[in-house]
Amino acid sequence: MSAMYPNLLQPLDLGFTQLKNRVLMGSMHTGLEEDKAGLHKLAAFYQERVKGGVGLIVTGGVSPNLRGRLHPFSAEFSKPKHAQAHQVVTDAVHEHGGKIALQLLHAGRYAMHPFSQSASAIKAPIARFAPSEMSVRQIKSTISDFANSAKLAQSAGYDGVEVMGSEGYLINQFICKRTNVRYDEWGGEYQNRIRFPLEIVKAIRAEVGEQFIIIFRLSMLDLVEEGSSFQEVVELAKALEKAGVTIINTGIGWHEARIPTIATQVPRGAFSWVTEQVKPHVNVPIVTCNRINTPEDAERILASGQADMVSMARPLLADPHFVLKAEQQQPKLINTCIGCNQACLDNVFKGQRATCMVNPFACYETELTLEAASQSQVVAVVGAGPAGLACATTLAERGYQVDLFDRADRIGGQFRLAMQIPGKEEFRETIRYFANRIEQTGVRLHLDTEVNADMLRDYDHIVMATGVTPREIQIDGLENSPKVIDYQTLIKEKTPVGDKIAIIGAGGIGVDVASMITEPNEHQLDDWLYEWGIDKTLTHPGGLYPYPDEASDKQVWLLQRRKGRVGKGPGKTTGWIHKRTLEKRGVHLLGGVEYQKIDQHGLHLVQNGKAQCLDVDTIVICAGQESVRSFEHRWDEFGEKLHVIGGADYAGELDAVRAIRQGVELALNL
C-alpha cells in the first residue's frame, strides 16, 4: 500500500468479494456502446483502465427495455444476444483481474423519442416529447425488466449492476413529487413513491442471489424544485440497504437542474459533504463523486471519513493509469482531467464518440497505437503550446530525438492564459503534466529561444506549432485610444480595468474575460455554493435555496456583430453555465451590433437601427485569433520535412481538442 495514499489504495471487503482499492470508475457513456464494432473498442478502453489499477468499473448506462432507451438507437440490455455480445467486455476486464458492473438506466421522461414513459405524464423542460403515464402493469413489467437485465448481466460475466436512481431519470422521477403526481400505491406519500426503486432492488436481488454486487445510484441532492428532502434521502438509503444493495453511490443534480455539478468551475470535491451527511445512516459502503480529479483530493475525502469510495469517470478517461501512478507515488505524472467537457460530454451530446482533450487515446485504444520509431531521427518542434507539447512528448516516447523551442520563458502557450481565468485553474495541471513528461521522455527544451529558418536546416523533421496571436481589428479611433486593450495583454499582465468595460467579441475568450472581470473576490467552496443557491444546511427540498443574484460592481457589456444568443461560448454542455453566470452578475449581452467608432466618450455602436454610445473606460478586444506562421516565406525550403499543426495550421474555431489531437496524430504517423 502506498504511504502517500493509504486510504485510497486500501482494499474494500464486500464480504463475498473484495475490491482492490477505493476507486470506482463512474458510469460514462462513450458512444461505443451502439457502434457496430464498438464493444471490442469498449473492451480495450476498459481493459486499459483495469491495467491502470481501477478497483471497480461501472459501464455507461444501458436500458432494461425498449421504451427506457435514451435515444431511439441507444443500447438496450434485455436479451441473451446482448449478454453474449458483452462477454468481450467482461472477458477483457477479468483477464487483467478487474471488476466491472453494468449500469441499468431507464431514461423515463428524458427519453428523446415519442414512446417515453414516466411516473406521471409531465414533460421535462429539457425533453422534446411528453411521456405517457405508466400503468400499474407497465410498472410491474419494468421492475421485471430490471431484474431480467441484471440476470443477463450476471450471465455475461459482469460482477454486478448499478441501478441508475439519480440524475432525474425514471427512478428519480418516481421518487420526487415534482414528477410523480399519482394517486395509486406508486405515488402520493413518500413510502409509495419509493416503492418503485425498492421493488427493483428486491427483484434484482431475488434473481442474482447474494454474491453479486448491486450498486444503487441515489440522488442525494436533486437541485430542482420539489426534489427530495434530506430526511427522505436518508429514509430511502436505509430502505435500499434493507432491500439488498451492496453499495450506495451518490448522485448530484438532475439533468434539468440549472446548477453546474461537474464543469471545471465547480470546486474540487464540491459535493462530498452531501455524501458525508448520508454516510452515518447506513452500513453499506458509500461512494462520493463529482469533481474529484487528483489522488490528493480523493485521499483527503476518504481520510476525513466523508465516504468509503470515490467515483471518478472523466479523470480515468484523461489518464487510464491514474491509480497505478498513485500506487507508484508518481502523482506528478498523472494527466489530470481539467473538467472542460470539450471532448467527452460535448462529443456525446453531439452524437459523437467520447474522447478526452488531454488524452486523445481515450476510446481510441485500438486505433491510436504508439509504436517505437523505426529509425531514430531528430525533430524540431517549434512552439510549446498544447499542440507542440503533445507532439514533442509523443515523438520522444516513440524514440525520436526532439528539440522543443519556444520564444517564451515557459511552456504552455494559450493554456497559460486559460489557467488565469477564475474557474479554469485546472489548465495549470496540464502544463504541470507536460513539464514532467518533457523530463520523463527526454525532450530537449529550449525556452527564450527565437527560432529562425537557418537553425532548422539539419533536422529530419520540423513541426511548426507556433500558435496564434489576437486578431487586429479596424474601428475608427481604436488605434490611438488609451481605453483599448487586447485580451492577451489584459490576462497576462493583469492590467487593471475601470468600472465600465466593453468587450468586443463574445466567443469563448470574450465570455472568459467577462467572467474574469466580474468574478467575486471570495473563492471558498461555501461562496460558490452560495452563488449557485445550494442549501448547505440541507433543510430545503432538493437542496435549493433561492439566494438573490448579486450583480457585479462593474458594468460590463459583452458584444458581438452576429444576431442571436450571446454569452454561451463554444461548449455544448457548458455554454448554459457561462451564460447563466454572466446573467447572474448583470453583464449586458448585446448581439447584432455594428461598431461605429471609439472616442473619449466611449464606444459608439448601432443596435437594431438605434445608435448609442457605451460610456466605458476600458474596451477589451476578444475578436478571435490569427495564425502565427514565423518565417513562412522560407517554409518551401523544408519541403516534406515540414509539418504545421494547431493554431499555426488553422486559427479559426481553434480549440485545444483539435490542437492536441493533431499533435499526437502527427507524432504517431511520422
Q: Is 621 left (phi over 0), alpha (psi -120 to 50) or beta?
A: beta
The residue within the footprint of ligand SF4, chosen from 150, 252, 358, 648 (CB under 6 A), is 358
Residues 6+ apart with CB under 8 A from 507: 560, 569, 570, 622, 624
Binding status of residue 297 toward ligand NAP by CB under 6 A: no
Compute the least distance from the CB of residue 448 to ligand SF4, in Å. 29
Nearest residue to 293 via CA among 356, 347, 246, 363: 356
Residue type, 2: S
Give the Cα-Cα-Cα angle 540, 541, 542 (nearest 5 degrees): 110
Site for ligand SF4 in 316-335 (CB under 6 A): 317-318
- Distance CA(160)–CA(210), nearest Å, equals 11
Q: Of ligand SF4, ligand NAP, none, which one does residue 654 interact with (CB within 5 to 8 Å by kind)?
A: ligand NAP
Nearest residue to 195 via CA among 138, 243, 265, 144: 243
Binding status of residue 64 toward ligand NAP by CB under 6 A: no
Binding status of residue 570 toward ligand NAP by CB under 6 A: yes
* Adjacent-strand bridge partners of 131: none
Question: Is the dihedral angle over the CA atoms 577, 582, 584, 585 positive or is it negative?
Answer: positive
Binding status of residue 624 toward ligand NAP by CB under 6 A: yes
- Distance CA(201)–CA(219), nearest Å, equals 15
- Distance CA(218)–CA(198), nearest Å, equals 12
**By C-beta, is 35 or 583 nearer to ligand NAP?**
583
Q: Which stretch binds ligand NAP (CB under 6 A): 111-119, 172-180, 207-215, 616-624?
A: 616-624
Binding status of residue 337 toward ligand SF4 by CB under 6 A: yes
Compute the least distance from the CB of residue 281 to ligand SF4, in Å. 32
**By C-beta, is 380 or 659 nearer to ligand SF4?**
659
Q: Of ligand SF4, ligand NAP, none, which one does residue 339 interact with (CB within 5 to 8 Å by kind)?
A: ligand SF4
The residue within the footprint of ligand SF4, chosen from 339, 508, 510, 543 (CB under 6 A), is 339
- Given the residues 5, 46, 169, 400, select the one marked as catalytic: 169
Size of the site for ligand SF4 (CB under 6 A): 14
Cell of 150: 441484471
- Helix, strand, or coil here: 569? coil
- Distance CA(371)–CA(397), nearest Å, equals 9
The residue within the footprint of ligand SF4, chosen from 56, 343, 363, 590 (CB under 6 A), is 343
Size of the site for ligand NAP (CB under 6 A): 24
- Distance CA(351)–CA(416), nearest Å, equals 31
Residue 169 a catalytic site member: yes
**Ramachandran angles phi, psi of 461, nearest 5°:** -140, 150
Burial class of 168 by CB neighbour count within 10 A (0 to 12, 13 to 18, 19+): buried
Binding status of residue 512 toward ligand NAP by CB under 6 A: yes
Q: Of ligand NAP, ligand SF4, none, which one does residue 91 interact with (CB within 5 to 8 Å by kind)?
A: none
Q: Which stretch binds ligand NAP (CB under 6 A): 93-101, 273-281, 456-464, 648-656?
A: 648-656
Q: In the block, which residue shows the cell 500558435?
A: 467
Binding status of residue 625 toward ligand NAP by CB under 6 A: yes
- Distance CA(311)–CA(171), nearest Å, equals 21
Compute the least distance from the CB of residue 248 to ligand SF4, in Å. 25
Q: Which stretch binds ligand NAP (CB under 6 A): 74-82, 101-109, 145-153, 567-575?
A: 567-575
Cβ-closest position to ligand NAP:
507
- Distance CA(258)–CA(252), nearest Å, equals 12
**By C-beta, is 118 or 560 nearer to ligand NAP?**
560
**By C-beta, is 533 or 646 nearer to ligand SF4?**
646
Binding status of residue 340 toward ligand SF4 by CB under 6 A: yes
- List the strands of the sheet with 610-614, edge to edge: 593-599, 602-607, 610-614
What is the distance in angstroms between the CA of the first residue and the CA of the last residue of the chain? 40
Site for ligand NAP in 432-471 (CB under 6 A): 471
Compute the least distance from the CB of residue 263 to ligand SF4, in Å. 8
Q: Of ligand SF4, ligand NAP, none, which one does residue 140 interact with (CB within 5 to 8 Å by kind)?
A: none
Length of the chain: 670
Q: Which stretch binds ligand NAP (CB under 6 A): 59-67, 134-142, 286-294, 507-515?
A: 507-515
Compute the least distance from the CB of residue 660 to ligand SF4, in Å. 10
Q: Of ligand NAP, ligand SF4, none, which one does residue 506 interact with (CB within 5 to 8 Å by kind)?
A: ligand NAP
Q: In the block, which residue shows the cell 493583469?
A: 494
- Helix, strand, or coil here: 247? strand
Cell of 314: 472523466
Applying CB under 6 A, the residues found at the interface with ligand SF4 are 314, 317-318, 337-344, 356-358
Which positions are annotated as active-site residues? 169
Applying CB under 6 A, the residues found at the interface with ligand NAP are 342, 471, 473, 504-510, 512, 560-562, 569-571, 622-625, 653-655
